[in-house]
Every structure is written in C-alpha cells, then in structure tokens.
Structure 1
Amino acid sequence: MATFFLVIIYLAFISLGLPDSLLGAAWPVMQPDLGAPLETAGLLFMTIAGGTIISSLASRAILTRFGTGNVTFVSVLMTAGSLLGFYFAPSLVWLFICAIPLGLGAGSVDAGLNNYVALHYKAHHMSWLHCFWGVGATLGPIIMAYFMSGQGSWRNGYFTIASIQFALAIILFFTLPLWKKTESKGNAAATEEQEAQEYASHDADSKKVKSIQITGVKLALASFLFYCSAEATIGLWGSSFLVNVKELSAEVSAQVISLFYAGITIGRFISGFITLKVSNKTVIRIGQLIALAGMVLLLLPLQSSTAFVSFTIIGLGMAPIFPSMLHETPARFGKEHSQAIIGYQMAFASAGTTFMPPVFGFLASYLTIGIFPFFIVAIVAAMILVSEKLNRFLMKKDNFLQTNNPISTEN
C-alpha cells in the first residue's frame, strides 16, 4: 500500500513538471505569432510564479483544512484548465488571465508533497520524487517541439499537455479514498521513531519561536531563491539564447532545452542511489560544481553543437540540489516547523522564478541576449556562497548543541 501511494505521489509530480518548461520552449514561436515583445515571456512567467508564491505561503493552512489528497487533485485540475486556456487564448491578455490559476495550482501541492516525503521517506525517495518532476519537465519541450516542427503550432502542444493533465486529475480523483485513509493514519514511515530522536534537539531548540525566526532559515530561503532563479532563467530563456546567439532553429533549441530537463531527471534518478551512501550536504556541493562546469563550457566560443553537451551537464549538476536541500529541512530546523519552513522555501523558490527571468528579459532587450551564460554563472555563484555560509553556521550550531547537551552515560 505504501509503495502504491508513493507511485501516486510520483504521478502528481509529473503533473507539476509538465507545464514548467512549456513557455520557454514555445516562446520563440509564440512571440511572433502573438506580436509580443521579447520580455513578455518574463512577465507571463512572473504571473505564473506569483500565483505559486501566494499558494505556497498559504499552504500550511490549506493543507490542514482540506488535506493533501484533495489539494493535489484540485491543483492538477486547475493546471489542466489553465493549459487548455492557453490553447484557446485569442490574445495575450487571455494568456495572462490563464497564467494566474496555473501558478496557484502548483504552490500548495508542491509544499505539501515535499514535506510529506521529507518527514516519512529517506533521501533517495526525495531525489526520485523530483526525478518524476523532471520527467514531466522533459516531456513538455519534447511534445512542444514535435508540434512546432510538424505543424508549426504551439497551441496544439498546449492542448496535448492539458489533455495529459486532465488524465492525471482523473487518476487522482479515483485515488482520493487512499489519500484520506493514509492521512488519517499519518502513514508514518518505519523509521519515524529514529528520525524523531534525530530531530529532537532541533525541535527543542526551535519550537518556542516562529518558523521564520529560527536562525539559519533565511540563508536556506536564499539558497532556494538562487537555485530556482537559475533553473527558471535557463528554462525560459535558454531556447531564445540558442536561436539568437547560437543560430539554432526553434525546434532544435527546444530539443536542447529538453536535454537540460533530461539531465535533471537522469541526475535525480542517479543521485537517489548516491544518497544511500553520501550525505545530502556533499551531494549538494558536487551538484553545484558540476552545474558551474557546464555553464563555463557554455561561455567558451565553441561550436553550436556543444550546447547539447553543456545544457545536459548543467541539468545533471542541478539535479540533486533542490531535492537534497528540501530533505535536509527537518534535520536542519526541526520536524515541528518543517511544513511551515518548506512552505516558505517554496515561496522563495517561486520568488526566484518570478523575478529573475523577467529581470534577465529586460536586460537582454536593452543589452543583448548574449549575456545569458554570464547571468546564470553569477546566480549559481551566489547560491554556492550562501549554501556554504549556511553549512558553516549549522556546523557551529551542532557543535554547540553537542557541547552543551552531552549524551548521558551514567545509566
């Protein structure tokens, strides 16, 4: 039963990933079709992410009131309807209207499912969970590229993804009794007692303060902001960079971006096994360095074909960072506050998604889209600096707790 329930959660994450990469892959064709300025894609992305921020911040109250199963079902249904709205949209204004529920549908379910897995499953399950998000994010550009190359129609790409979302919503609807049964029992993992002991010192240290006030939380939030800033900017503007600077066709560029998401997907599948032997902190560091190497490769004046390699390497490097940071949340700040903090992390992740791609869009429209790799390198460097500062702080905090709360050996 627990395995089947985990499969349902994985399917829900496929639905979360499917819409995330569509806009960037389709924009080189959508822009002239709609007669929109280049930076409009950033504004649409901002609208979507703004809805995600709102629902993420409200996630704790929403999930407590309605339950994770109901929220997941309604959220997938909202995203399906929004994508169908993109297909029918007669003008740019309607795209902005449909972007609102598309964003709202993602926030609460993202926070709820991430917290559930962080509390009740091991680190490899978190990596595999986000691997399935990558499956959805990889399929999106592939499907869009198929319709743009065969029919030149981005609308049919959105219609196809909407249909898949509706199918997933139907599956979730018929599994609602399973969600309710599992939630009523708490579906605690077999290792819950061991994890409770591991988190006890953190809970005792943090339960008397508000979640946002716990020392170190703000650094963690900044890490999520920078990570998602990089991922979203690559997803939205990578295709336009390849078309305008590397002189690849829109169809080929969409395929390259799908390799970026394929790298994330494959990397998360592999990192799930690595986390069985290696700590989350080490996996995060390795991923950051690999991603940075891929970005440096993109900076070099090499043939356009190297874009296939560099975007794949970047995806592989970024793969374990997000799920590993999420899984560390209860251990870093206590199980007592994990749901609220993960909600904040989702909100800051969405803030990075909201603001950085539009910022790049405006810079590119006034300068040149050729600044794309430099912009991404700067964001990733900032993420590494903040992440290492948080690691140093947590190490000092753990040493302090061990010094002042030694394990008694008298009994």
Structure 2
Amino acid sequence: MESEPLIAGRGRDEHLGAEEALLSSEILEPAKEALPLAEIASGVYALFVAGLVASTLGAILPQLEEYYQLSDKAISIIFLCPPVGFFLAAYFSRSLHLKCGRRVAVIIAPVCQLTYALTASQAPPFPVLLASLVAVGFFGLMDGSLYAWVGGMKPAKTVIGLLHGAFSIGAASGPFLANAITSAAHRPWYTWYYVLTAFVFLELPCLAYSFWQHDVESFHVENGRKNIRDEAEPDEEPSPQSSFSYAATWIGSAYVFGFMGVEFTVTGWGIAYMNRVNEGSNLLGGACVSLFHLGLAAGKLSLGVMTRYVQVQLLVTSFLCLALLSQVAFAVSTIPAVSVALMALLGFLLGPLYPSGIIMMTQLLPREVQVAGISFVNSMGQIGAAFMPFVFGLISNRFGIEMLVYYVCLQLALIIPLWLWFFRLH
C-alpha cells in the first residue's frame, strides 16, 4: 500500500495487527472530517440569509397592509404560503438526496429564494406575491439536509447552535435593515427586496462551491452504503414516510410546531403591536423585533456552553417557565423601553429550544431516516410559523392586536408538556 497521510495516533497503529489498524483508521477518519469548515461557513451564511428572508414579512407587514389596502385578516394569508413549499420539500427530500446527492438540495434552495426576492422587488399584484412565497418554502430542502448532516458530528450541539444562531442574527438584521431602508429613508417597501436579492445571489456560489463534493455517491457512503446500487432493493430502502413510524417524529413535530408558532407570531406581529399599542414608529417596532432575534441568537449560541453544566431537560423546562413569566410581565408593561427589554429576554429564553429539539431528533431517529424525519419536522415547524400568526390575524381583526401577549402565553403553556413528553422518549 502506498504511503498514507499522517494522522494523530498513526505511530500507535503500527503496533497493531492489520485488522486492528484498519479498524482504528476507520474510527479516526470521522474525527478527522468532523469539522469541514468550508461547508459550515457556507451553511452559516445560508442560514443568515434565510433569517433575512424569514423576518422580512414581519418587518414590512404594516407597509404591505397600507400598499395593498388589506385588513389584518386578509394580510395574514401571507403566512400560509411558505409551508406549501416546505411540505413539498419534505416529501421529495429523501428521493432527491438518493438520486442527486446533498449538493443539489443545497443549490435548489437559494434558487427558489432568488425567485421570491426578484418577484417581490417588482411590487407585483398581491396574488403573485403570494405565489412567490411558495417558492421560498423550498429552503426546507437545505434546512433538513444541513441539520441531518451536522447531527452526525461530534460537536453537534455547538455547530447546530451556530447554524440556528446565524438564522437568528439574520432575522435580527432583517427588521432593522428593512425599516432603515424603507421607513427611515422614506423608500417604498419593495426597495428592501433589491438588497435581499444581492444577499441571496451571493449565497448560491458559496453553497455550490463548498458542497460540490457532496454528490450522490458521497451521500450513499455517508449513510452506510457502498455504492449507488445498494438502493436497488426497494424493500430495504426507507421511503420518505418511513420516519412516520417513530414517535419521536410526531412529538418532535408538535414541539417544533409550537416553538416556531411562538417565534413567528412575535416577529410577524410584533412591529404592528408596538405601533398600535405603544404608539411607536416602525423603527421602534423593528428594534423590538431585532432585539428579540438577537436574544434568540444569544440563547442558541450559548447552548453548547450551558449544557456542559445543566442537563438539557432542566435547561429547556426552566427557560420555558421563565419565558411564560416574562410574557406576563410584558402584558402589564406600558413603558416601551421595558417592553423592548422583555422581548429581548424572551428571545434569549427561547433560543435553546429549537436546536435542543433537533439534537433530540438526531439521537432518536436512525441515521437512514434522519433527513426525511428532520425535513418533516421542520416542515411542521413552518406550518406552526404560518398557521399560528395567521390565526392571530383573525383574532386581531376581531378583538384587537392587544391580544398578542395572551396568545403567546397560551402557546408557551402548551409547549412545556410537549417538551417533557419528547424528552421521555430519550
């Protein structure tokens, strides 16, 4: 055998038998590839851009209502469109990975985001804008793929926290940038989409370059097959629905549904709430939502550190209870500065919830169904992110936007038993 690259512990292997040396090499190789920095960096940027895209609707919601002359009930339809794309992405995710590899999945996602940004930048009729929002839901292809891939790494908690923290930083930047460009600079709402198009356009070559080696053969090897032919036996190949037979998929889906419902209800209606209840400006409302997302980012990025000293079950349960108390304080607060601070605190307390749930999924599901399972869970999360803000739009139209705080409290109260049930499976 020709000379091999030197790795840590190679000198010790020379004293082992041939079979033991081969086994040692196989064990050491995953550790060697545990931190592919190019892929992680591009994934972080992709999640940052996804945060910008996700926070855009809440940032410009008051301007959309004014531009299209719509009520709270009518404008809330925009929250229902992205889950259509996410469900399609979850359904085709497994077969797409098997036939095309991971790199195709991560390239399709920014192409769909670019379609949405370019369409919205032209200030199209409202039905066309709704249709373009379906395309942005195909980000779920990359979302589930990245988290399933990272879940197999040794520092999964840290990397997943980094990825979702990047999403929160992007989501925090979105309201501030959008309102700085539109409200502060007195530009129309669709001007923001010119900037968003540039961010997405840069994302595409970054992902294509860093994930180019993640072809179909690489995906099959990663999931325990020797070659593509190993999928020839249909009875041995898990279907996209194979993850449905695991309780973790359904409980995790309900948990992520609730969490995403809280997050997007706050970010979707937070600016409108601050404008109408606290008589603030779009800029003040944008600052409130931005600080909420910064709190989310801080909570997610600190997950790896906190779980070194506190068990995940206790950490998440405690943070959920504290988040509920913070919303009770928010309900009685009439000072804008205090409300903004409490919103930032809520973000920090909610930060570890999602990455903790994804880590649980990677530990409870077999590796061969993790892509399909996590994609489905994320799709259910997107339904929560759409359905719960939509329902609040109906409530706000009937009872007033003052009901936002009580609505969020109810959601948090329902998530607590879901987390305890989810953790018992582990």
What TM-score, normalized by structure 1, do the two folds share? 0.85
**Could you tell me which residue of structure 2 aligns to residue 111 of structure 1?**
144
Q: Tell me the distance in 2 between the aligned counterparts of 1:389 and 1:123.
A: 21
**1:48 touches 1:102 (CA, 8 Å); kept in 2?**
yes
Does 2:209 match 1:174?
A: yes
Q: What letter corresponds to residue 161 of structure 1 in structure 2?
A: L
Extract unaligned runs of 5+ from structure 1. Answer: 189-205, 396-411
Give 1:267 deviation, angstroms: 1.6
Give 1:275 deviation, angstroms: 2.9
**2:93 touches 2:375 (CA, 8 Å); kept in 1?**
yes
Does 2:45 match 1:11?
A: yes
Task: Tell me the SS of whatever aligns to 2:386.
Answer: helix
C-alpha distance after superposition, 1:134-181 (max 9, x if no partner): 121111111101112112422111211111111111222333434449
Match of 1:367 among 388, 396, 399: 399
Q: Which moved more, 1:2-11 or 1:258-267?
A: 2-11
**Could you tell me which residue of structure 2 aligns to residue 343 of structure 1?**
375
Give 1:359 deviation, angstroms: 0.8
**1:280 touches 1:325 (CA, 8 Å); kept in 2?**
no
Task: Tell me the SS of whatever aligns to 1:21.
Answer: helix
Q: Tell me the distance in 1 between the aligned counterparts of 2:92 and 2:220.
A: 24
**Could you tell me which residue of structure 2 aligns to residue 382 of structure 1?**
414
Match of 2:193 among 143, 158, 161: 158
Q: Tell me the distance in 2 between the aligned counterparts of 1:282 and 1:361.
A: 34
**Could you tell me which residue of structure 2 aligns to residue 2 of structure 1?**
36
Q: Which moved more, 1:338-347 or 1:122-131?
A: 338-347
Q: Tell me the distance in 2 between the aligned counterparts of 1:22 and 1:123.
A: 28
Does 2:59 match 1:59?
A: no
C-alpha distance after superposition, 1:163-206 (max 9, x if no partner): 11111112223334344499369579xxxxxxxxxxxxxxxxx9
C-alpha distance after superposition, 1:242-271 (max 9, x if no partner): 111111111210121111111111221122
Q: What letter corresponds to residue 160 of structure 1 in structure 2?
A: V
**Could you tell me which residue of structure 2 aligns to residue 195 of structure 1?**
none
Give 1:216 deviation, angstroms: 4.4
C-alpha distance after superposition, 1:32-71 (max 9, x if no partner): 1221222233211111222222212332222222222222
**Could you tell me which residue of structure 1 aligns to residue 68 of structure 2?**
34
**Could you tell me which residue of structure 2 aligns to residue 289 of structure 1?**
321
Matches within 5 A, 1:301-312: 301-312=333-344
What is the number of equivalent residue pairs in this alignment?
375
Q: Tell me the distance in 2 between the aligned counterparts of 1:107 and 1:4.
A: 21
**Could you tell me which residue of structure 2 aligns to residue 221 of structure 1?**
253
Q: Tell me the distance in 2 between the aligned counterparts of 1:10 and 1:318.
A: 20
C-alpha distance after superposition, 1:328-359 (max 9, x if no partner): 11222333432222122112111212211111
Q: Tell me the distance in 1 between the aligned counterparts of 2:73 and 2:413.
A: 25
Extract unaligned runs of 5+ from structure 2. Answer: 1-34, 224-237
**2:252 touches 2:377 (CA, 8 Å); kept in 1?**
yes
Percent of matched pairs sharing the same residue = 19
Q: Tell me the distance in 1 between the aligned counterparts of 2:265 and 2:344.
A: 15
What TM-score, normalized by structure 2, do the two folds share? 0.82
Task: Tell me the SS of whatever aligns to 2:370.
Answer: helix
Does 2:135 match 1:101?
A: yes
Q: Tell me the distance in 1 between the aligned counterparts of 2:368 and 2:311.
A: 22
**Could you tell me which residue of structure 2 aligns to residue 70 of structure 1?**
104
Give 1:89 deviation, angstroms: 2.4
Q: Tell me the distance in 2 between the aligned counterparts of 1:251 and 1:155.
A: 17
Match of 1:252 among 262, 266, 284: 284
Larger radius of gyration: 2
C-alpha distance after superposition, 1:83-115 (max 9, x if no partner): 1211102321221121121122x1111111111
Aligned-residue CA RMSD in angstroms? Answer: 2.3
Task: Tell me the SS of whatever aligns to 1:88.
Answer: coil
